A = this chain, B = another copy of it.
Amino acid sequence: MSANATDRLRAEYRPGFAMPRDFYLSPEVYESDIRDYWNRSWIWVGHVSQLEVPGDFFVFDYGPESVIVARDRDGTTGAFQNVCRHRGSRLCMEASGNTRVFACPYHAWTYELSGKLRRAREMAEGFDPADYGLLKLHLREFEGLLFVCAADTPPEIDDGLAQLGPLVAPFGLRNMRIAHTASYTVPANWKLAVENYMECYHCAGAHLDFARSHSIKEPGHKTTELVQALHPRSRAVGLPVNEVSRYDPGKATLFYKRYPLFEGYQTGSRTGAPLAPLLGDLTGFDGGATDLQIGILNNFIIYSDHTVGYRFIPVSQLECRIEVVWLVRADAEAGKDFDHGDLTWLWHATSLDDERIIRHNQEGVKSHHFVPGPLSEMEWGITAFYNDYFSVSAG
């Protein structure tokens, strides 16, 4: 049934234009969003610093889904559906912690850190615990970033990550920790939040603080000269200047680009001054920032001294959460090496702007009189999202 609603949208879809209201309002489509798109896409769930020692675990939720990511006794990491194999109770209630086993709060079915069912009492003859281990998700670690995918056959990602590796290596992302996480509830379908991130057509008017310091996405900004000036500075501090742009149906989207901040800005700060110790092996500030996308749902901005991760999590059909994660060097101390308020200022302000404009977008899209209009040349990323959505959800 859900397939039909998505099929209708696929048939109605007019490349170069926005999507019709059912894309955001149909309950059938929302059901398919989770079942056919999110559950087959790579999702960024966290960072290895959240799993320091054996027994460490954390839980990541989206829509009706919940995933446990845990480090086993032998040091390996695994990802599991947070659903008991007996009668489906949510298994792990804590957002994070350290444990020896996962025991279901309902009937005490007990699972090991590897997901294996250790024990279920009073089962009939012939019951084999080996048949009832927790369902596993695919898990990839890339430079300390953890991604999961619930599909049987996930979109290709390994070749892509191999390609990204040398570009990202100098930032030492594995050697970071989460300094702050913020969550912004938006009364809108999650796809409007993704679309919003996919384009910077709205930045000049809606994000004044961002637009004052970040150059790349606005054609009017003499990008060519600024980029020419950036490249030698990047190389000088140890950063390659190659770009990666892979939008290929069936494969995880990949995008990597270092782009210039405006003069006087060394990082994404209010004054332009540094916010935290230099990342990884960098020998100085190049006045640039990196847009990194690993799978279209997972976005990162890498400054010379901190990284910001962005994701747009479905809560229900007309509610989502913008979740923003700020990471700094693992050895940076709050209060001494960085200030929380300064560190989070820019993307906190930007997220509040986004909450407002996405909400207004949802209100208008509800109208029976909404006719999807033509996209500007700065909104090509939205088309990339639609292509990925239709390709992945077709299975």
Chain A residues within CB distance 8 Å of chain B: 16, 18, 21, 34-35, 39, 64-66, 81-91, 93, 105-108, 120-124, 127, 132, 135, 150, 195, 201-202, 204-206, 219, 356-357, 360-361, 363-378
Contacts and interface: CB of A to CB of B under 8 A. Distances in A.
Indicate the member of A34, A88, A374, A376 with the most B CB atoms within 10 Å.
Answer: A88
Contact of A373 (B87, B91, B361, B375): B87
A205 B88 contact: no
Given A83-B367, A86-B18, A88-B18, A107 B376 contact: yes
Q: Is the interface of A mostly helix, strand, loop or mixed?
A: loop
Contact of A369 (B89, B135, B201, B377): B135
Given A18-B87, A124-B374, A124-B376, 15 more contacts: A18-B88, A39-B368, A64-B367, A83-B364, A83-B370, A89-B364, A90-B361, A93-B360, A106-B357, A107-B202, A122-B376, A122-B377, A122-B378, A127-B374, A132-B373
A205 B110 CA distance: 12
Nearest to A18: B87
Q: Lowest 9 A-B CB distances belong to which pairs?
A: A64-B366, A90-B364, A88-B370, A90-B363, A86-B373, A81-B369, A88-B365, A122-B376, A108-B205
A55 to B, nearest CB: 22
B150 A369 contact: yes
A59 to B, nearest CB: 11
Contacts of A205: 105-108
B87 A372 contact: yes
B367 A87 contact: no
Contact of A201 (B93, B122, B374): B122
Given A122-B219, A123-B377, A206-B105, A89 B361 contact: yes
A295 to B, nearest CB: 19
Indicate the member of A87, A93, A127 with the most B CB atoms within 10 Å.
Answer: A87
Contacts of A369: 39, 65, 81, 83, 135, 150
A335 to B, nearest CB: 37
21 contacts: A18-B88, A64-B367, A65-B368, A66-B363, A66-B364, A83-B369, A83-B370, A85-B373, A87-B365, A87-B373, A88-B364, A88-B370, A89-B357, A89-B360, A90-B364, A93-B360, A106-B206, A107-B201, A120-B376, A124-B374, A132-B374
A88 B357 contact: no
A373 B369 CA distance: 37
Nearest to A65: B367
A364 B85 CA distance: 10
